[in-house]
Each structure stands twice: as structure tokens, then as C-alpha cells.
A and B are shown apart, each in its own frame.
Chain A
């Protein structure tokens, strides 16, 4: 893949969205065209991964050939390529599920365009190298998700849609205000340029509170501890397919951006990390523990899964927090970031898969309240098998993907001696297993009850959905059994995030390459000392 082809990650979904918009009267054509665009997208994402990973190079394209801090930059490094690949595969599986199982994609014909536009926003935020474009990508993503939210809504959904829309709008407005203030302070919104300024330890003191404020903006999108309240109320009202898409992609975009901003861009600036790192670690512990307690207390499959999203976000935060804690050795920082990236990838796949499973459970049993359903093991043995693999993977049992993500994170925590957050993480895993077993024993193992008792025939439309779930489970298994391969890619990504000079050099060109300034107060002293010298001259 050449460097200018990366613009395809924006162009393809946009073209897909426009094409399906024009085809809104022809449902079959819409589906086939959509599938074509999604498969092309997966192909190019894999190409980008194959180009970037072996050499650790970074594909950079300057829009309109305007040089870096002035024009719009898009860049694909290992982290972006990994997110793009897994994200596009997850998108395709959800698409397959929607087409086979979920007839809402035919209502009015505007589900498909919105689906592609959502993907456009997600992919754009993965590849952008410019803060303002990140805002635009977020906005596109959110607009598409509002529209998908409101297609054929029930009453309960409508009220939750308001909560979702308003809180996200509040977050976006805060983001754009922050951007304005950052531009006023630093004179640039290019991510590489801000990274360069942070590495040279030249961030003005007044810009620090604004940059720290961004934790709240992205934290709201990712649903971290004090800002999570919108998520459990919202996601469980969604149809499972859409819930899977949102859970698999939208909250993970937030986590990706947090890694990009707080680990790569600002991780070298001591003034910022000394505020953000303890906050992230404390929040990580609280987020994962309260999230899982919520999940254990719930009694509806979709509610359990949506509160679980929050608990899993805690692990990602833990990785990020360890990676920017002052005094942690660089190799442990790399371990922590690699663990967080691995965990995000694993979680995109598994979470989405579990949501799709809950959709099929509703399809079979007519409800997802665990008190009203049961005996799905006999009714849908394949679904039960796939659910079990995904659930155990989420809980983190050894040969499956969740184990490796957690193991890397926990070992990073042990080696940097953060025992409290590590023990909370272990405890959270146990509770996760408990809540998954609850779904298993009530939904699958208990005596048969629910809609499927009266209607014993198998519905043909659940078959396609099972295939989509099987694809995701296969992906998760490959991450478990091929963990070494995946982990080495995550480690490459982590290395370039902990020391971002390669990224800065690739985007800004050789001329502006910074020398890494060690974080110590000496740089302030030199200013003070040099001032009187000038006067004496």
C-alpha cells in the first residue's frame, strides 16, 4: 500500500454511504453494494497492516500537499492499522448479522447509508493526524449513530435517544471549545506538532489545564467512572445488532483517542502526566469494579452486557495510566500500552459478539429477561457453544483472547508495583466470570421456558446471524491461539507510542525532528540562568 492510498479509509465508506443512499429503494442492491464496500475496506485495512507492521513505518499523506503543521494530515501507524483492521472486520460481521437477521435495515432504506457513515466517522478518527479533523470525525460518527438510534424507534428508545444525543453534544461542544483554547495557546492543532512541543517540554503553563480538561471530553465518550451514567441507560434499549456495533466500535474509538492523546502526544510532558496518570489509575479501579458489580446485579442479558462495557473500559484505562506514570521503566510502559491495545482489540470483537448472541437469544426465546427464558442449550446448541467461548474469553480464561490482554496488563501492574489496581483487576475478572455464568445458567442451562417452547421449529433467519457470530468467535480464537503474533504487533505499536519521535519525524519531516528532552526541571532553570546573561551582554 502506498502512502496516499490511506485516504481510501475515508473515501470508501463515504462512497458506500452515498451509493447506498441513492439505492434506497432497492433493498437487495443496497445490501450487495454495501457488502462490496465493506469487503474492499477490510482488504485495504489488511494491506495497510501488512505494509506498516514489518518495518514499523508510518504512512503519512498531506491533503492537498500542504506541508504538515498547516494542512490536514492523515497518518496510519501500527496502532491505527490494527484498529482499522479489527474495526472493519467487526463492522462486516455486524453488517452480515443485520442483513441476515434484522429486518430493520429495510425500514425506509436509510439504515445502510447511516451504517457506512458511522464507519466513515470511526475510520476517520483512527487515521486523522489533526485535532480539528478528529472533532469533525467524532461529529460524523455521532450524527450517524443518532440517526441509527432513531430509525424505527420505540417509546423507550426515544427518551434514551435524548440522553445520548444531548450528553454527546455537550461533550463535542466541550471538545471544540478546548480545541479553540489549545489553538490559542499553542498555535497549532496538528497532533505531531503538539507531540513535538510536548517532547521539547515547551508546553506553556496555561495550556496544561486545557489539555487536562480533554480527559473529561474523551472520558465521557469512553464512559469512564464519573461520566458513565449515560451508557447503561442507553445501550440496552437498542436492538442487539446496533448495540453490538456501538459497543464494539464507539466506546473503543474513545479509548483509542485517549491512548493517542495521553500516551503518545502528552505522555512525554511531565506536567500533564503527573495530574492525569493518578487520575486514570484511580478511575480505572473504580470503573472496572463498579461496572462489574452493576453487571452482577442486573438480570437482563442486554443490561448485563452494556454495564460490562464500562467494566472493560477500566482495564484499558489501567494500561494507559501505567504507561504515563512517572518513574515507571520504559519497558514496563511499553508492556502496559501493548496490553491496553491488545485488550481494546480483543474487546471490540468479543463485546460485539456477545451483543449479537443476545440478539439471537431474544430471537429464540422472545425476551432477554433471564427470569423468563431458559433451555436455549437444547434449542440452539451452536449459539450456546459460541456464546460460551465468547463469554469465557471476556472473563479471561487461559487459551482465549481475554486472558492474554489481562495477563499483559496485570504483569505490567505487578512489575511497576501498583498492587491495589492489580488486585481490583483480578477481582473484577472473577465477577465477570460470575455474571457470564449467570447468563449461561439461566439462559441456556435451566429448564426450557420462553417463546421457543410453544414454537418448536427453528427459524431460518437465525442461521445467518449465527454465521456472523461464528466469524467473530473465530477472530477471537485466532487472537487467543495466535496471541504471540497479535501481541508482537501491539508491542510494535506501543514502542512507537512511548517514544513518538518516529511519528513526529514522519509527519513533520526531518527538519523539525525533536531531540528528546528528559523530563526534569533543568529546562526551566536554564531559562532563568540565560536571562541575566543577555542583560550583561
Chain B
């Protein structure tokens, strides 16, 4: 399971790097979003496999080492919420750019700025 997640993290990071090199802003933004998901999965991967462990509810007579560590999941939740806000903001900027310039190509935008 952990190996699978690790490979997924690598694939996500690679795909996002590829997308971020795109000439279109949409692609670049998608790359950023994917990167965020990759980071979240990486946190999940380091928290270890939950197989054979109990849910993190404290009760008498339960060995602490048998419980799943809940903190990484809390971290991921926070990171997801923040990532969501960032995505909303980026998409807003894209919409504004499209309305003003009728293009999302980096090259065209750069040319317009030079004049």
C-alpha cells in the first residue's frame, strides 16, 4: 500500500512538473493543483500504513501503539482547505485575464506587456 502511494506521489509530482511547463495558463494552474494533491498524498504516505491498526479513539486497555496516528490526516485536511482557497483564487485570476485579454497564452500575454 505504502509503495503504491509513494509511486502515486512521484507520478503526481512528475505530471504536475510537466503541466507547469505548459505555455497555456490553464495547464500551469492544473499543474499547481496536482502538485498540492501530491504533497497531501506524501503526508499520508509518511503516516504509515493503517492496516491492522485501531481507529484513534482513546479508551482504557488500548495500547497507544496500536492506534493510527491521526495528526497527518488533520494536517492534510488543513492543507486541502488551503489548497482549495488557492485554487479558487488562481481560477479567478485566470477568468479576469481571459476577460481582459481574450487569451491565456503566456507568450501572447508577454508580448502585449512589452508594448
Contacts and interface: CB of A to CB of B under 8 A. Distances in A.
Contacts of A170: 20, 32, 35
How would you classify the secondary structure of chain B's contact residues: helix, strand, loop or mixed? helix
A147 B39 contact: no
Interface in B59-115: 71-72, 75, 78-79, 82, 85-86, 89-90, 93, 96-97, 100-101, 106, 109-110, 112-113
A352 B32 CA distance: 31
B78 A136 contact: yes
A237 to B, nearest CB: 9
A176 interface: yes
Nearest to B35: A173
B43 to A, nearest CB: 3
A178 B113 CA distance: 36
A176 B39 contact: yes
A488 interface: no
Contacts of B48: 184
A162 B109 CA distance: 11
B26 to A, nearest CB: 12
B19 to A, nearest CB: 12
Nearest to A133: B78
A11 interface: no
A177 B82 contact: no
Contacts of A407: none
B109 to A, nearest CB: 5
Nearest to B114: A156
A136 B43 CA distance: 15
Contacts of B47: 183-184
A143 B109 contact: no
B112 A155 contact: yes
B46 interface: yes
B113 A156 contact: yes
A94 B96 CA distance: 27
Interface residues of A, number: 27
A160 to B, nearest CB: 9
Contacts of A181: 42, 46
A159 B93 CA distance: 10
Interface string A147-176: 100100001101101100110011001001
A162 B93 contact: yes
A180 B42 contact: yes
B8 interface: no
A486 interface: no
A139 B32 contact: no
B82 A139 contact: yes
Contacts of A139: 82, 85-86
B43 A155 contact: no
A176 B43 contact: yes
Nearest to B16: A173
A155 B93 contact: no
Contacts of A228: none
Contacts of A150: 93, 96
B43 A180 contact: yes
Given A132-B78, A155-B113, A159-B110, A180 B39 contact: yes
Contacts of A136: 78, 82
B20 A158 contact: no
Interface string B42-54: 1101111000000
A270 B45 CA distance: 29
B16 to A, nearest CB: 9
Given A166-B20, A176-B79, A161 B93 contact: yes
A155 B82 contact: no
Given A176-B43, A184-B46, A165 B75 contact: no
B85 to A, nearest CB: 6
Contacts of A180: 39, 42-43, 45-46, 72, 75
Contacts of B46: 180-181, 183-185
Contact of B100 (A155, A177, A184): A155
Most B C-beta atoms less than 10 A away, residue of A147, A176, A185: A176
A146 interface: yes
B113 A165 contact: no
Given A132-B78, A143-B85, A159-B113, A165 B90 contact: yes
Contacts of A217: none
A179 interface: yes
A169 B78 contact: no
B100 A158 contact: yes
B27 to A, nearest CB: 12
A136 B79 CA distance: 8
Contacts of A155: 100-101, 112-113
A161 B48 CA distance: 38
B15 interface: no
Given A173-B35, A176-B43, A143 B86 contact: yes
Contacts of B35: 169-170, 173
Contacts of B85: 139, 143
Contacts of A147: 89
Leading 7 A-B pairs by shortest Cβ distance: A184-B46, A180-B43, A177-B39, A173-B35, A139-B82, A176-B39, A173-B39
18 contacts: A132-B78, A136-B78, A139-B85, A158-B100, A158-B109, A162-B25, A162-B28, A166-B32, A169-B35, A170-B20, A173-B38, A173-B39, A180-B42, A180-B72, A181-B42, A183-B75, A184-B48, A185-B46
Given A158-B101, A177-B43, A181-B46, 12 more contacts: A139-B86, A143-B85, A147-B89, A155-B112, A158-B97, A162-B25, A162-B106, A166-B32, A177-B39, A179-B43, A180-B42, A183-B71
Interface of B: 20, 25, 28, 32, 35-36, 38-39, 42-43, 45-48, 71-72, 75, 78-79, 82, 85-86, 89-90, 93, 96-97, 100-101, 106, 109-110, 112-113
